[in-house]
């Protein structure tokens, strides 16, 4: 509304208060682009302090056992890859290293499944290039993708009552190429009720947790990996004990990657070196610091620029008031 | 769900084999009947339509309310007989759900058709009348048509035994075109729109975060602290300074100083200011939506126009 | 035996809230005068429509990504009021929707408004538009409308997600007066930053009662207030009770599930102060959750097509 026209005789204070939008946008574009390039060229690592809710999520996922099955309920789209991308990749890496099986679906958008498939393929490629190469994670044997459900709330309501009824009509291809019920796959063959799922992870930029907590809450430990803007709302679910862990947007992805790198020691300190078996061990020598960390420097630069701009606006207001008085 | 499952001699009227003439007759019959019913309803006088909508809304609401509240049978399967009336209702609720949801989806599909018709009408008119921005309208119509055509062709190319694998291994022109339009254009344009929010947040924050009053000073101070806490480097540096000033040791001074760690301040704001206010707003919203739903369900919603 | 069988407590609470609402609707229908406080955002509606009339530009109304449900209907109800005001002055309107079902209902309601005002010929069937059900395609479409038609007033009310700021800032850029309301709390700050007036939280649901003073709506609103007072009262009472119990009341027994999973047994322990999970307040909302019991049921033979239907029960 109050976007006064910039006139030639404007005072400095007025000018600082009414910087044109295109100047602001160009500055942001320049700063973020430059910081991304610099971060890539010089591998800039910004330190981070993992928060309690991220540590809880890491502890839960890190202490899963080989053969356990988890649910990945994805709402991550190409648009939200800046935040959900790092979270999803960290989760997939951990599952594959621990040989944890997962079942994946979406009810946010059909493209979420394609986005997730591309990420799985990328991490499989990364594993094939490791030294020594690690086996690829295979659909049917290690994970199944149930696809898109048009009505997530009803599906979850049914799954809470009878998981086999909710997902029973979903089919997947076994290694021979034959289509069979997903419940015949090694991933789901031992799953009889929702409680058999060890962890339910929701990754999304939108609030899918209201649906999940309302339907399967208390039955399965739930972890929410959410975009930063939705964090304050999700934090309530964590504080009330309805979420077992929580990742706060890009910062959460960075914290998770750092926990994968450094672990949580026996005293509960992230990256600590206390004696005794760690509460959640790290994955030394593997690719841990990835997408989240590569965006973090640019994120910090953008926030710094935002604060600087706020200061500029306020200085302008102060100068203008002083001039008028 | 098979509504006739309990009949002694099962009939397969609902389960005609794929590709059979009977199935085609059923599909065409249902299509004609469905359209006749919808057009019939739209020509009903208003005083007759209202109670009809009221009854349908009530029954729909009752079904989903029961679905949520009725005790749910555990670990049931289709070949089991329910124990008692409560389980019987529970079984019925579970097994009727796919049918009810199909109704829902068919209606949604139909309404989407209405929406698209509206969109096409507006933009076709603009193109026809050479409205100043008619090129945008033409772009929309062309894109919509292309996406629909290639989407359908792509889907059709993967039907049939072994076809999906064949398409995956050797994608044809239609598959490439669909992937280009959806994966190459739509998904990325979607991301472009999303990323534009960063610019809008930036300009909105620049304009609105001004120290105009005590309240705005408190808001700005809190916002800056929270923003600083998102930057790990600043957080680590801040805490080092606090530790240097006596926050890392023991005793009263150290205990007091530890409250000044950035993480502690952020936690305090989150736990004692942010979360309670969000909860309070959420309570209000939940009660509001409950009242509105109740009025709609019971047919007593008057609206502003009565 | 279960200590507190509170599994149905939440349902009971909902029943009480429903009773409050229905009772107050009855009270209002009987002609009791009930007070509603001033809501600035709603008073601004006339100002915004007046400005549009003066400038000869359209009024834009957008319910965000609301679908056909309580939020969507409430938004369209408010838009119907705005449309009536605009119709009186012959000001053009634009309504952009993302849900086809809500689009159909909105079209009907807006047509009714023009009919009830006695000017059905002024109704333009293209003024209510379905844009797209894809979030950002919808946002792009609405921004296009804002920019091309240079709307003078913009009402953004309903379920808003990431697209909220795209629309609000675009409208801000062309100097439109904006009144907004979001049922998604995390978007409210963005709207406050970019709009002139914002309805916060349940003010959105109070709007129809405030604008129409219809007894059913006013009664319902008072019922909502009673409900909120009850919730606040319960929170205060339980906070006081829990603080007292934690500080002074000792735990003298332990409960455990043995043998039959439905049976809870108690054994005495040395008295100690209670843990959080032993407080009444905690247990009221965390009932004992015994493991699910799977009854043995008789079996019937399924027809082949019935097995294919779900495939999961084998």
pLDDT tens for each residue of B92-106: 888 888 788 888 888
Q: Are C310 and A165 in contact (CB under 8 A)?
A: yes
Closest to B150 in 3D by CA, of B182, B119, B109, B120? B182
Residue of A151, A172, A218, A229 to mutate when probing chain C, most C C-beta within 10 A: A229
- Residue A8 backbone dihedrals phi, psi, to 5 degrees: -60, -30
Residue in chain C closest to A180 (alpha carbons) equals C311
Question: What is the widest separation between alpha-carbon atoms in chain C?
Answer: 83
| pLDDT, average across residues B274-292 | 93
Q: Determine, for residues A165 and C196 on separate chains, whether the beta-carbon distance falls below 8 Å.
A: no
CA angle A236, A241, A245 (to 5 degrees): 80
DSSP A280: B
Residue A148 CA to residue A104 CA, distance in Å, equals 9
Sequence-distant contacts of B97-100: CB under 8 A, at least 24 apart: B97/A154, B97/A158, B97/B1, B97/B67, B98/B1, B98/C309, B99/B1, B99/B3, B100/B63
Q: How far is B166 from chain C (nearest CA, A)?
A: 26
Residue C257 has pLDDT above 70, yes or no: no
Torsion sign (Cα): B38, B44, B46, B49: negative
Q: How many domains does chain C have?
A: 2
Largest CA distance in chain A: 83
Pull the structure tokens for residue B69: 């509240």
Mean predicted lDDT score pLDDT of chain A: 92
With beta carbons under 8 A apart, name residues in chain B contacting A192: 75
Give the pLDDT score at C163. Answer: 93
Q: Do C311 and A169 touch (CB under 8 A)?
A: yes
* A131 near C CB under 8 A: no
CA A186 to chain centre: 26
Give the pLDDT score at A1.
46
d(CA C164, CA C194): 10
Residues C194 and C249 grouped into a single domain = no
- Angle of helix B262-269 versus helix B232-242 axis, rounded to 10: 110
Interface test with chain B among A161, A192, A250, A251, by most B beta carbons within 10 Å: A161
Interface contact C190-B201, CB threshold 8 A? yes
Out of A177, A300, A318, the one facing B233 most closely (by C-beta) is A300
Phi and psi dihedrals of C286, rounded to 5?
Answer: -130, 75
pLDDT digits (tens, 9 = 90+) for B187-229: 889 899 999 999 999 999 999 999 999 999 999 999 999 999 9
As a whole number, mean pLDDT of residues B7-12 equals 46
Closest Cα in chain A to C288: A218
Decide: residue A269, CB within 10 A, 0-12 exposed, 13-18 middle, 19+ buried: middle
Mean pLDDT for the stretch of residues C95-123: 93
C167-190 tens-digit pLDDT: 999 999 999 999 999 999 999 999
Please state the rounded mean pLDDT for residues A40-67.
94
- Architecture per CATH, domain A46-289, reads as 3-Layer(aba) Sandwich (3.40)
Report residue B197 CA to chain centroid gap. Answer: 20
pLDDT of the residue at B3: 46
* CA contacts within 13 A on the Cβ side of B167: 19
**Across the interface, do C299 and B79 touch by the CB < 8 Å criterion?**
yes
Tell me what pLDDT residue B2 has. Answer: 47
Q: Is A24 on the interface with B (CB under 8 A)?
A: yes
- Among C69, C192, C300, beta carbon nearest to B81: C300
Q: Which of A99-103, C8-12, C288-292 has the lowest average pLDDT?
A: C288-292
Neighboring chain C residues of A224 at a CB cutoff of 8 Å:
none
Question: Is the Cβ of B204 closer than 8 Å to some Cβ of chain C?
Answer: yes
**Chosen from B230, B234, B240 to mutate, greatest number of chain A CBs within 10 A:** B230
C-alpha C160/C-alpha C66 separation (Å) is 8
Asked whether residue C154 is assigned to any structural domain, the reply reads: yes
Residue A3 binned pLDDT confidence (cut-offs 50, 70, 90): low
The verdict on C240 and C208 lying in the same domain is no
Distance between CA atoms of A123 and A138, rounded to whole angstroms?
Answer: 12
Bridge partner residues of A245 (DSSP): A223
> In the structure, what pLDDT confidence band is assigned to residue C287 with cuts at 50, 70 and 90?
low
Instruction: Enumerate the residues of chain A whose CB falls inside 8 A of the CB of residue B187.
Output: 77-79, 111, 114-115
Lowest mean pLDDT among B290-304, C133-147, C278-292: C278-292
Residue B108 phi/psi, 5° resolution? -60, -40
Look at residue C314 and tell me whether its pLDDT is greater than 50.
Answer: no
Give contacts of C204 with chain B, Cβ < 8 Å. Answer: 285, 288
Q: What does chain A come to in residues?
A: 325
* CA separation for the pair C170, C146 (Å, rounded): 7
pLDDT for the residue numbered A58: 97
Cα–Cα–Cα angle for A230, A234, A239, nearest 5°? 150
Give me B166's structure tokens: 């064949």
Q: What per-residue confidence (pLDDT) applies to A21?
A: 92
CATH number of the domain to which C147 belongs: 3.40.50.2000
Query: Hunting for tokens 């206010």 — which residue is that?
Result: B277
pLDDT per position as a tens digit, A146-180: 999 988 888 898 888 889 888 988 888 888 878 88
CA distance C119 to chain A (A): 33
Q: Is residue C83, in this structure, part of any structural domain at all?
A: yes
Beta bridge partners of A248: A226
Element (H, E) at B256: helix B252-258
Distance CA A29, CA A44 (A): 19
The position carrying tokens 């800032």 is: C169
| In chain C, residues 98-137 whose CB comes closer than 8 Å to chain B | 100-101, 103-104, 107, 109, 112-113, 116, 126, 128-137
In a domain, C182, yes or no: yes
Q: Which residues of C touch A167 (CB under 8 A)?
A: 312
pLDDT class of A202 with cuts at 50, 70, 90: very high
What is the domain extent for residue C129?
55-213
Residue C312 has pLDDT above 70, yes or no: no
pLDDT at C219 over 70: yes
User: Which of A206-215, B297-306, C17-26, C32-41 is predicted with the least confidence, judged by mean pLDDT?
Assistant: B297-306
Say yes or no: C208 and C231 in one domain.
no
C-alpha distance from A97 to closest chain B C-alpha (Å):
27
| Chain C CB within 8 Å of residue B202 CB | no
Q: Which residues pair with C179 in a beta bridge?
A: C155, C197
Contact between A47 and B236 using a beta-carbon 8 Å cutoff: yes
Cβ atoms of B95 and C306 within 8 Å: the answer is: no
Least confident of B181-185, B208-212, C66-70, C292-296: C292-296
Euclidean distance between CA atoms C133 and A69, whole angstroms = 34
Do A192 and A166 form a contact (C-beta atoms < 8 A)? no
Q: Which chains touch A (3 or more CB pairs under 8 A)?
A: B, C
Q: What pLDDT does residue B100 have?
A: 84
Which of C213, C248, C269 marks a domain boundary? C213
Interatomic CA distance for residues C185 and C190, integer angstroms: 10
Residue C157 lies inside a defined structural domain of this protein = yes
Residue A63 has pLDDT above 70, yes or no: yes
Distance, in Å, from the CA atom of C157 to the CA atom of B153, rounded to the nearest integer, reads 39
The residues that bridge with C299 in the sheet, in sequence order, are B80
Q: Which chains touch C (3 or more CB pairs under 8 A)?
A: A, B
Q: Which of A251, A310, A317 is the best substitution to test chain B (most B C-beta atoms within 10 A)?
A: A310
What are the residues facing A171 on neighbouring strands?
Answer: A181
Chosen domain end from C213, C233, C268: C213
Does residue C49 sit within a domain? no
B278 near C CB under 8 A: yes
Question: In this predicted model, which residue has the larger pLDDT, C28 or A60?
Answer: A60
pLDDT at B145: 94
pLDDT of residue B303: 67
Give the ipTM. 0.87
Q: Which of B77, B19, B164, B101 is nearest to A172 (CA)?
A: B164
User: Each residue of B214-224: b (16+ CB within 10 Å) or e?
Assistant: eeeeebbeebb
Determine the Cα–Cα distance for residues B32 and A200; give it in Å rounded to an integer: 44
**Scanning every residue of chain C, which has its alpha carbon at the shortest distance from the alpha carbon of B14?**
C305
Report residue C23: phi and psi, to 5°: -60, -45
Q: Does residue C151 share a domain with residue C113?
A: yes
Other residues' Cβ atoms within 10 Å of the Cβ of residue C232: 12
Closest chain B residue to C200, measured at CA: B281
**Same domain assignment for residues C65 and C159:** yes
- pLDDT of res. C37: 84
> Model confidence over B38-88: pLDDT tens digits?
888 878 887 888 888 889 899 999 998 898 888 877 777 777 888 888 888
Pairing of strands C250-257, C264-273: antiparallel
Instruction: Identify all chain A residues contacting C173, using CB atoms and an 8 Å cutoff.
Output: 3, 21
* Residues of chain C contacting B208 with CB distance shorter than 8 Å: 192-194
Strand partners, A246: A224
Q: Give B138's contacts (C-beta < 8 A, 6+ positions apart).
A: B123, B127
User: Is residue C87 scored above 60 in pLDDT?
Assistant: yes
Q: Are C131 and C142 in contact (CB under 8 A)?
A: yes
Q: What is the pTM of this model?
A: 0.88
For residues B153-168, one letter each, b for 16 or more C-beta atoms within 10 angstroms of the residue's C-beta and e for the rest, the string is ebeebeeeeeeeeebe
User: ω into residue A132 within 30 of 0, thus cis?
Assistant: yes
Is the pLDDT at C310 greater than 60? The verdict is: no
- Residues A317 and A13 sit within 8 Å (Cβ to Cβ): yes
């Amino acid at each position: 509304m109050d976007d006064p026209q910039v006139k030639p005789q404007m005072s400095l204070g007025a000018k600082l208060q009414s910087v044109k939008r295109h100047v602001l946008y160009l500055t942001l574009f320049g700063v973020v682009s430059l910081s991304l390039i610099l971060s890539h060229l010089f591998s800039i690592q910004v330190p981070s302090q993992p928060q309690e809710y991220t540590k809880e999520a890491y502890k839960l996922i890190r202490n899963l056992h080989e053969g356990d099955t988890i649910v990945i309920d994805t709402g991550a789209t190409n648009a939200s890859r800046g935040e959900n991308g790092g979270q999803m990749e960290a989760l997939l890496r951990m599952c594959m290293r621990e040989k944890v099986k997962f079942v994946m679906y979406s009810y946010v958008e059909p493209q979420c499944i394609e986005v997730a498939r591309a990420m799985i393929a990328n991490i499989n490629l990364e594993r094939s290039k490791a030294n020594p190469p690690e086996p690829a994670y295979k659909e049917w044997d290690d994970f199944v993708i149930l696809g898109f459900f048009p009505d997530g709330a009803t599906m979850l309501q049914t799954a809470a009552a009878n998981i086999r009824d909710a997902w029973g009509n979903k089919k997947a291809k076994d290694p021979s190429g034959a289509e069979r019920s997903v419940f015949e796959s090694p991933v789901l063959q031992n799953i009889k009720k929702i409680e058999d799922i060890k962890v339910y992870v929701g990754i999304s930029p939108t609030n899918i947790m209201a649906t999940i907590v309302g339907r399967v809450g208390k039955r399965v430990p739930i972890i929410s990996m959410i975009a930063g803007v939705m964090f304050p709302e999700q934090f309530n679910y964590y504080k009330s004990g309805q979420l077992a862990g929580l990742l706060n947007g890009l910062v959460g992805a960075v914290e998770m990657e750092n926990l994968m790198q450094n672990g949580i020691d026996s005293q509960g300190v992230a990256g600590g070196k206390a004696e005794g078996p760690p509460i959640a061990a790290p994955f030394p020598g593997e690719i841990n610091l990835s997408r989240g960390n590569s965006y973090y420097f640019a994120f910090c630069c953008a926030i710094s620029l935002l604060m600087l701009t706020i200061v500029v606006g306020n200085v302008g207001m102060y100068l203008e008031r002083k001039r008028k008085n | 769900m098979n509504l006739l499952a309990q009949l002694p001699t099962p009939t397969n009227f609902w389960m005609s084999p794929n590709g059979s003439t009977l199935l085609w007759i059923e599909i065409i019959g249902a299509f004609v009947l469905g359209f006749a019913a919808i057009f019939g309803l739209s020509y009903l006088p208003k005083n007759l339509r209202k109670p009809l909508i009221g009854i349908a809304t009530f029954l729909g609401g009752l079904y989903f309310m029961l679905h949520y509240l009725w005790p749910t049978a555990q670990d049931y399967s289709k070949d089991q007989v329910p124990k008692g009336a409560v389980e019987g209702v529970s079984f019925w609720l579970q097994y009727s759900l796919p049918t009810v949801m199909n109704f829902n989806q068919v209606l949604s599909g139909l309404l989407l058709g209405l929406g698209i018709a509206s969109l096409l009408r507006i933009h076709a008119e603009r193109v026809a009348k050479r409205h100043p921005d008619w090129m945008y309208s033409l772009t929309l119509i062309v894109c919509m048509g292309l996406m629909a055509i290639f989407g359908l062709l792509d889907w059709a190319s993967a039907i049939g035994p072994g076809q999906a694998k064949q398409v995956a291994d050797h994608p044809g022109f239609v598959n490439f075109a669909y992937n280009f339009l959806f994966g190459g254009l739509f998904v990325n344009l979607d991301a472009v729109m999303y990323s534009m929010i960063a610019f809008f947040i930036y300009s909105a924050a620049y304009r609105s975060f001004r120290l105009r009053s005590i309240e705005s000073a408190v808001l700005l101070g809190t916002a800056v602290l929270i923003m600083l806490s998102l930057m790990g480097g600043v957080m680590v540096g801040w805490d080092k300074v606090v530790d240097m000033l006596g926050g890392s040791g023991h005793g009263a001074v150290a205990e007091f100083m530890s409250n000044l760690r950035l993480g502690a301040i952020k936690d305090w704001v989150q736990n004692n200011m942010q979360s309670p206010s969000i909860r309070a707003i959420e309570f209000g919203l939940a009660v509001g939506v409950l009242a509105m739903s109740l009025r709609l369900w019971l047919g007593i919603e008057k609206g502003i126009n009565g | 035996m279960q200590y507190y069988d509170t599994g149905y407590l939440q349902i009971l609470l909902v029943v009480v809230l429903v009773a409050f609402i229905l009772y107050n609707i009855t009270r209002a229908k009987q002609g009791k005068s009930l007070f509603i406080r001033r809501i600035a955002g709603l008073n601004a509606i006339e100002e915004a429509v007046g400005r549009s009339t003066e400038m000869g530009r359209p009024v834009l109304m957008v319910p965000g990504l609301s679908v056909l449900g309580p939020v969507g209907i409430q938004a369209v109800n408010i838009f119907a009021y705005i449309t009536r005001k605009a119709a009186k002055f012959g000001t053009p309107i634009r309504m952009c929707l993302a849900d086809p079902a809500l689009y159909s209902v909105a079209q009907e309601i807006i047509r009714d408004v023009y009919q009830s005002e006695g000017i059905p010929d002024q109704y333009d069937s293209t003024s209510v538009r379905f844009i797209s059900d894809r979030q950002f395609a919808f946002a792009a479409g609405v921004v296009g409308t804002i920019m091309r038609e240079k709307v003078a007033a913009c009402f953004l009310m309903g379920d808003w997600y990431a697209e909220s700021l795209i629309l609000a800032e675009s409208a801000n850029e062309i100097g439109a007066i904006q009144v907004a309301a979001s049922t998604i709390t995390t978007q409210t700050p963005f709207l406050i930053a970019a709009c002139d007036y914002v309805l916060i939280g349940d003010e959105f649901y109070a709007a129809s009662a405030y604008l129409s003073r219809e007894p059913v709506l006013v009664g319902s609103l008072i019922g909502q207030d009673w409900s909120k007072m009850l919730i606040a009262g319960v929170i205060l009472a339980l906070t006081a009770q829990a603080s007292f119990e934690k500080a002074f009341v000792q735990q003298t027994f332990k409960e455990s599930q043995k043998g039959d999973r439905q049976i809870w047994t108690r054994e005495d322990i040395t008295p100690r102060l209670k843990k959080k999970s032993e407080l009444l307040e905690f247990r009221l909302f965390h009932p004992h959750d015994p493991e699910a019991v799977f009854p043995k049921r008789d079996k019937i033979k399924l027809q082949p097509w019935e097995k294919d239907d779900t495939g999961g029960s084998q």
